[in-house]
Amino acid sequence: MATRQERIQHLARRNLLSQRLPEFSARLSAVLGQAIGPERLALLDDADALMQVFGASYGKVMRAELEGSSRFFSENDAHLVWEGVSDLQRQLADEVVFALIKIENDVVAFSIQLSCALASAEAIVCFDGDSLRLLSTDGTQGILVDYNDGDLIENFQIALWGDRWARHPQGIRSSFGRLSGA
């Protein structure tokens, strides 16, 4: 049970986020070239829960406890990241997913077609500041495209997990090269 202080902090966080959402939605809509209205945004508690599922699954992939793969890329190999994401867009079945995007210290979740999110991956990473996080609606599949500006050797990371998204045709492996755990 949440303490009174925790409930107040949660309400303040929800109020602040609701004030920022109209501008956020307008900017995100411009980046994606499609309207991201309130009906596509998850509630704060739902977004928090989705981010927890995403983070836990990512951690399991990195510890080899969940079917998936991950690879780091240098700044010089950035073209491989975007080529590989394009391959994913072509090869994965299209479905509605949740994208998790940062808005200051919070995360906003919104529904989007997987193909659209992958087609806009580079723009979303720039908009977010460092990552594209996609999670299937059932929470079993995930994609992370992460940009780390401060590390020239491990400048980008691609992580995939889940029985549908991590098991992809051979063509994706040729774009990403050898993925660890694959």
- pLDDT per position as a tens digit, 72-87: 999 899 999 999 999 9
Q: What is the span of the domain harbouring residue 109?
A: 4-176
Strand partners, 73: 156
Asked, for residue 52, whether it belongs to a domain, the answer is yes
Please give the model's pTM, rounded to 2 decimal places: 0.84
H-helix or E-strand containing 7?
Answer: helix 4-32
H-helix or E-strand containing 49?
Answer: helix 44-62
Asked, for residue 66, whether it belongs to a domain, the answer is yes
Asked, for residue 144, whether it belongs to a domain, the answer is yes
Quote the number of domains for the chain: 1
- Cα–Cα distance list, 166 to 66, 81, 148, 172, 177 (Å): 10, 16, 22, 10, 14
Q: Which segments of the chain have a pLDDT < 50?
A: 170-172, 174, 178-182
pLDDT in tens, 81-114: 999 999 999 989 899 999 999 877 778 889 999 9
